[in-house]
């Protein structure tokens, strides 16, 4: 072997050593740099941004759970609960933690009777909840369903049962049109709450007042939420409570409603399409407000099914419709006392003015005749007899002499054509129609004709009114122009002066309105009231037969509102026309006559004659309220075929 080959096989240890040292140095430098980076990051985490990352860590471990406030209860004037809170049990699930929701639903169907409707409602509600938060899956669990779930609870780590407050209306269909109901918060509610800067007050609440008292007094009843700071594990379950800030319960409220009277009137009107408003004329307190038929509001609390809601919507008797506040009816002859006061005040008539009634009144310069309800007429009548016998021709002449402008101005003072201001949301009360020249142009694109004014004189034509308007107008007459706003609220719990004596603050003067009717001559009020007294107790009064044996004195006025117009010389016969075209029966009354305690406005849809049918209902209500009995019986054998007022 040559010397050159020997040299090539000799390793250069020096070079290898230098290469190793260089590589080791490089690796050492890299490690030092990495350690420096690690130390810098540790310093950033532990020193510079300690608070930030500490908070994030706690947020993964600690949760703030809002606590819903207890909703205030609703009572009648005597302390009987009308809306209460029951504890019910709800199945909740954390959907973001469950890998296969559909599989979980299938498993739960056999255990808690989970339905397709429950799942559908869950999918709708899920959008309203934050991630990793429990979402309601099924409400109102039975004890059997709870027991079945508890046995298998280990199979569902992200499903739990919680107790919640559930609004319940113990009188079910009774009082629905007054109390209303609460139901789930929807997108419109959320938008309104955000606009009113109230959304933070509903972080723990899923329901809100939708109708009636529940809606109008929502801010009073709702309360203020609290919160609970808790420590949770990786499954989202609470393992420790850190601290708690209790919620502030909503206020209890007491309504002016007399429950016994309310239930009695509802029973009296069962099977009818009707409305009754009973009010204390001394302060505007609503004693009863009934719209028949009605419906049970309890299904709305948890969310009524679409089939049940459609059934209510399609019911021909319209139970969802609040006839007492939204029903617009021709007020008919019930308004004659108010028109008499207007005519006397304007000097159009005097207490001694006489009009001859041959049974009809003819518009001057035309062949048009307006009939009186009594075919052969009443002869010569003055204003007192015109009210007592409800003489149409007298008020045709008054309307002709007054003109629509003055009639409208005066009837507006009695509250017609305006909302009463009752403590219900405005979309639950109608203005109805007090017609005028401007109204007809706007509504019908036609000018007002002189012939349009004549039927207004007897509460017909374009004029419509709600039962609550009729009741308010009656209280204005009773009080000689003094006007109280009708209201349901009697007092709130915070109005109680002394918790031991339970004496609430009730101040009717806060419901007193300004009204120029206080300038009316007192003699005119007295004359109108006397005419109404004679309606019931006069020798020719239209309701004298019904009240002949009454044990109290009262005053009232009947009305019969035509649903459709009769042809010339056509005779009204209820037996020959469909029920939905029969006249409405109206009656307004108050008693006792000298010191009134109650005033009534009654509308019986397609009920026939106002005196015989409406007057009889009023008699039973007054007997019940003033005497504590219901001895008077109604003749239900056949509808009244007359049209007397």
Please determine, for residue 501, whether its predicted confidence score (pLDDT) is greater than 70. no
Cα-based torsion angle of the residue sequence 560, 566, 569, 573 in order, rounded to the nearest 10 degrees: -60
Can you say whether the dihedral through the CA atoms of 603, 609, 613, 615 is positive or negative? positive
Is the per-residue pLDDT at 558 higher than 70?
A: yes
Residue 567 has a CB neighbour count (10 Å cut-off) of 6
Q: What is the mean pLDDT of residues 512-526?
A: 92
Q: Can you state the angle between helices 336-346 and 467-478, rounded to 10 degrees? A: 50
Q: Look up tokens 């004679």; give the residue.
A: 534
Q: Token pair for residue 39? A: 């130390």
Rounded to whole angstroms, the Cα distance separating 643 from 645 reads: 6
Residue 160 token pair: 């739990």
Q: Burial code of 89-120, b = ≥16 C-beta within 10 A, e = fewer?
A: bbbbbbbeebeebeebbebbeebbebeeebbe
Whether the CB-CB separation of 600 and 590 falls below 8 Å is answered with yes
Rounded CA gap, 343 and 357, in Å?
18
End-to-end CA distance of the chain: 147
Distance CA 495, CA 500 (A): 13
Q: What are the residue ranges of helices labelled H in 44-131?
A: 50-61, 101-112, 116-126
Q: Hunting for tokens 């007459």 — which residue is that?
A: 477
Token pair 């990051």 is found at 41
- Over residues 256-293, the pLDDT tens digits come to 999 999 999 999 999 999 999 999 999 999 999 999 99
Tell me the backbone φ, ψ of residue 66, rounded to 5 degrees: -70, 145
CA angle, residues 537, 543, 544, in degrees to nearest 5: 35
Q: What is the spatial distance between Cα 79 and Cα 546, in angstroms, rounded to a whole number?
A: 35
pLDDT of residue 135: 84
Catalytic residue among 160, 174, 291, 333: 333
DSSP for residue 208:
E
| Cα 313 to Cα 319: distance, rounded to the nearest angstrom | 8
pLDDT in the model for residue 634? 39
Contact 370, 454 (CB under 8 A): yes
| Arithmetic mean of pLDDT, 513-520 | 89
Q: Check if the beta carbon of residue 360 is closer than 8 Å to that of residue 370.
A: yes
Residue written as token pair 């989970």: 114
What residues does 248 pair with on adjacent strands? 224
Mean pLDDT of 502-526: 89
What is the reported pLDDT for 633? 42
| Tokens of residue 100, six digits | 């296969």
The verdict on whether omega for the bond into residue 318 sits within 30 degrees of 0, i.e. cis, is no
pLDDT digits (tens, 9 = 90+) for 139-187: 888 899 899 888 888 888 888 888 888 899 999 999 999 999 999 888 8
Q: What number of helices (H) and strands (E) belong to the chain?
A: 23, 22
Q: How confident is the model at residue 643 (pLDDT cuts 50, 70, 90)?
A: very low
What mean pLDDT do residues 57-77 have? Answer: 81
Which tokens go with 127?
């959008």
Annotated catalytic residue 174:
no
The band of 10, judged by pLDDT with boundaries at 50, 70 and 90, is low
| Three-class secondary structure of residue 476 per DSSP | helix
Percent of the chain with pLDDT strictly greater than 90: 56
Per-residue pLDDT of 223-237, as tens digits, reads 999 988 777 665 556
- Residue 398 near residue 457 (C-beta atoms within 8 A): yes
Evaluate if residue 94 carries a pLDDT over 50: yes
Q: Residue 554: is its pLDDT beyond 90?
A: yes
Tell me the mean pLDDT in the region 453-461.
95
Q: What is the pLDDT of residue 462?
A: 96
Range list of H helices, 367-417: 383-388, 392-413
Residue 500 in tokens: 């031991």
């Amino acid at each position: 072997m040559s010397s050159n080959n020997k040299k090539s096989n000799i390793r250069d240890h020096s070079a290898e050593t230098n290469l190793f040292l260089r590589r080791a140095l490089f690796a050492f430098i890299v490690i030092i740099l990495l350690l420096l980076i690690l130390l810098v990051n540790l310093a950033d985490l532990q020193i510079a941004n300690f608070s930030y990352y500490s908070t994030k860590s706690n947020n993964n471990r600690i949760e703030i759970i809002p606590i819903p406030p207890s909703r205030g209860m609703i009572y009648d004037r005597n302390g009987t609960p009308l809306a209460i809170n029951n504890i019910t049990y709800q199945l909740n699930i954390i959907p973001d933690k469950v890998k296969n929701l559909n599989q979980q639903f299938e498993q739960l169907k056999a255990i808690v009777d989970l339905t397709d409707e429950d799942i559908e409602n869950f999918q709708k509600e899920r959008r309203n909840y934050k991630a990793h938060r429990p979402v309601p899956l099924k409400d109102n669990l039975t004890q059997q369903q709870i027991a079945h779930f508890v046995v298998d609870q280990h199979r569902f780590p992200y499903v739990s049962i919680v107790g919640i407050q559930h609004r319940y209306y113990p009188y079910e269909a009774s009082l629905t049109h007054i109390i209303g109901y609460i139901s789930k918060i929807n997108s419109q509610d959320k938008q309104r709450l955000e606009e009113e800067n109230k959304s933070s007050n509903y972080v723990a609440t899923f329901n809100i007042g939708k109708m009636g008292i529940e809606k109008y007094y929502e801010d009073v009843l709702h309360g203020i939420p609290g919160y609970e700071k808790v420590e949770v594990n990786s499954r989202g379950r609470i393992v420790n409570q850190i601290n708690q800030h209790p919620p502030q319960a909503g206020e209890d409220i007491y309504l002016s409603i007399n429950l016994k009277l309310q239930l009695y009137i509802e029973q009296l009107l069962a099977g009818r399409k009707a409305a009754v408003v009973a009010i204390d004329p001394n302060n505007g307190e609503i004693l009863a407000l009934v719209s028949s038929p009605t419906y049970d509001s309890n299904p709305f609390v948890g969310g009524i099914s679409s089939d049940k809601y459609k059934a209510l919507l399609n019911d021909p008797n319209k139970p969802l419709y609040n006839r007492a506040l939204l029903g617009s009816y021709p007020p008919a002859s019930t308004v004659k006392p108010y028109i008499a006061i207007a005519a006397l005040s304007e000097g159009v008539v005097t207490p001694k003015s006489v009009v001859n009634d041959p049974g009809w009144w003819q518009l001057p310069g035309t062949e048009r005749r307006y009939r009186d309800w009594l075919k052969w007429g009443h002869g010569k009548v003055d204003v007192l007899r015109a009210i007592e016998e409800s003489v149409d021709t007298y008020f045709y002449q008054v309307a002709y002499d007054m003109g629509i402008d003055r009639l409208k101005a005066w009837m507006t003072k009695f509250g017609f054509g305006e909302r009463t201001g009752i403590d219900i949301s405005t979309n639950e009360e109608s203005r109805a129609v007090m017609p005028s020249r401007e109204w007809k142009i706007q509504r019908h694109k036609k000018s007002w004709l002189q012939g349009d004014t004549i039927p207004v004189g007897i509460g017909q034509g374009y004029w419509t009114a709600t039962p609550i308007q009729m009741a308010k107008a009656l209280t204005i007459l009773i009080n000689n122009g003094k006007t109280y706003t009708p209201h349901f609220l009697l007092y709130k719990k915070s109005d109680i002066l002394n918790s031991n004596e339970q004496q609430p603050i009730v101040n009717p003067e806060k419901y007193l309105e300004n009204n120029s009717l206080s300038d009316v001559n007192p003699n005119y009020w007295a004359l109108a009231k006397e005419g109404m007294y004679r309606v019931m107790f006069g020798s020719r009064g239209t309701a004298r037969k019904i009240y002949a044996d009454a044990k109290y004195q009262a005053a009232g006025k009947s009305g019969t509102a035509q649903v459709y117009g009769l042809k010339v010389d056509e005779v009204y016969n209820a037996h020959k026309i469909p029920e939905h075209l029969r006249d409405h029966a109206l009656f307004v009354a108050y008693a006792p006559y000298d010191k009134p305690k109650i005033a009534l406005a009654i509308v019986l849809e397609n009920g026939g004659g106002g005196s015989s049918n409406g007057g009889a209902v009023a008699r039973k209500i007054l007997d019940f309220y003033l005497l504590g009995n219901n001895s008077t019986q109604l003749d239900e054998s056949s509808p009244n075929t007359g049209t007397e007022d």
